[in-house]
Amino acid sequence: MEENTFYIRILSPVHLGCDDVYDPTGFVLDDSDQTLTAFDPMDFFRSLDPQDKARYTGICGKGSIESILELYKFMKGKRFDGHRVGVCKGLFAHYQKTLSISLTDRRKIQQELNNFSISRTAFNPITQKPYIPGSAIKGALRTAYLNQIAKTKSVTTDRRDKKQAETLEKGLLDYKTLEKDPFRLLKVSDFQPVGPCPTKIIYAVNAKKKPSEHDARGLSILLEVIQPGTVFAGSIQVLKPLARDVIKAPLSEEKVWESAAAFYSKEKKREDAELDAAGLPLGPTSTDSGICPLRIGRHSGAESLTIEGHRHIRIRNKIGNRTVYKDSDKATTFWLASQVSNSKTADNLQPFGWVTLGAMTASLQEELEAQAAKQQSELASIVTSHAAKIQAEQKKSVPLPPVEEVWENAFVSFNSGGGGIVSAQSADKKKAEICGKEKARAATDAGLHKKLFDGKKTLPKARVTVRKVGNAWEIVKVEPAV
């Protein structure tokens, strides 16, 4: 097969793990437009006024569980421009609940913060846009191909074999070493977005396939997902083995597509039947005249990721809440995308991971590029408007210049304890201080040093400039009385 351009259209939410999360030091939530804005923490830090910089640095320097909650509370209400992501409605209630926790309740903080971790989908660190790794597509095609072979070829494996899955695949594809694996000749590029590519933060919730009075045991998880309708483009190529290659069963284009169409169409029908039996919404159906459906990403269902007849599905046991592995072709629960954290109250559940694969045409390419240009224009307008909003809010929040006064004929004294403290009292009994001997000496006229710091340590009359700090006064300058 020659190298050709293909497209993948997202049918249901897709999350492709990348071991990265949205860090609390680098995002703010805006409930007015239901978005999360992520940014470089250093850019954010540089935008803060000196007082907020000191507070932010102090919180980050603590390095404790409690300090993470402090950071969430500090970031609340802040505005900063950056990469914007849609957010499901349930997250804001979850966010408010987290903010309301007392800083003294360490156990509760730990529990809620564990539940508030937001996993990112695979993304380009330069553009921040999502992409589909070629390995995810190749893995889906390989799973379908292995299932097709397993229908007619019997391979016996030993449960005690620590590499049981690898042994099974080698037996089905008839190879012993990696260089003789037929899938070495299947080359799949990463698929990049074409046109609009929105992502959203949602909950992955667990629901039972057979409804009962007890909820499914799996905890809800926050994930960033690629939204349905997004299209990606990339290349797929099946190379012909060289004469020196000893590949006993080379791949063919026809078998790759036929096995994928047969396996994932069957899996789609099975899942829809189980969803229907459980009283849950069915997964989306493709209207594309593409090559085949595929299933990729996290929470795609154990059945879509394993080989029929050779499955050992992990199931949580009722007794002691232990995890066991059963020789079963069916899992007992679904993982579904939800707008809220509880599957019982969700009204728009969706299965994860369904996509359709097709050959890219010139007309589709033009259509997607036009959509991308339109989106870019709209995004530029949104970014400009958002930046103007931030600037307006920053102008409103610019701190007023510090309030200063000059106290004539003030009484000044020095106490060497506590690192050194210079105190001043005005004629009308207002008081001010400056702490630290070196700092105090720098603020005091040199001609007064000997008398204040080495002599009687008092100045019955001095001209003192003070600044208001909160509800207190701080000494700025001590000079001889006029």
Q: What is the pLDDT of residues 403-432, one digit of tens each?
A: 889 999 999 999 887 778 899 999 899 999
pLDDT value at residue 268:
93
Six-digit token string for 280: 């849950």
What number is the average pLDDT over the span 135-153?
A: 90
Q: Which two tokens stand for residue 356?
A: 């359709």
Confidence of residue 320 (pLDDT cuts 50, 70, 90): very low
* Rounded CA separation 295/297 (Å): 7
Other beta carbons within 10 angstroms of residue 296's beta carbon come to: 25
The contacts of residue 472 (CB under 8 Å, 6+ apart) are: 432, 433
pLDDT one-digit tens code per residue, 24-81: 778 888 877 788 888 888 888 888 888 888 888 888 888 788 888 888 888 887 778 8
Cα atoms found within 13 Å of the Cα of residue 44, Cβ hemisphere only:
21
Under the banding of pLDDT at 50, 70 and 90, the label for residue 398 is low
Residue 233: pLDDT band (50, 70, 90) is very high
Instruction: Note whether 127 and 227 are within 8 A (CB).
Output: no
Who wins on pLDDT, 438 or 14? 14
Structure confidence at residue 436 (pLDDT) = 86
Confidence at residue 378, expressed as pLDDT on a 0 to 100 scale: 63
**How far apart are the C-alpha atoms of 178 and 415, rounded to whole Å?**
79
pLDDT: is 224 or 249 the higher one? 224
Q: What is the mean pLDDT of the chain?
A: 83
Show the domains of the chain with their CATH numbers: 4-14+126-360 (no CATH), 17-121 (no CATH), 404-480 (2.40.50)
- pTM score of the predicted model: 0.72
Pairing type for strands 83-87 and 292-295 reads unpaired
pLDDT class for 161, splitting at 50, 70, 90?
Answer: low
**Residue 230: per-residue pLDDT:** 92
Percent of the chain scoring above 90 in pLDDT: 30
| Predicted local confidence at residue 327, as pLDDT | 46
Phi-psi region of 298 (alpha: psi -120 to 50; beta: other; left: phi over 0): beta
pLDDT of residue 24: 79
Are 87 and 201 within 8 A, CB to CB?
A: yes
- Average of per-residue pLDDT across 224-253: 85
Mean pLDDT is lowest, of 225-239, 240-254, 436-450, for: 240-254
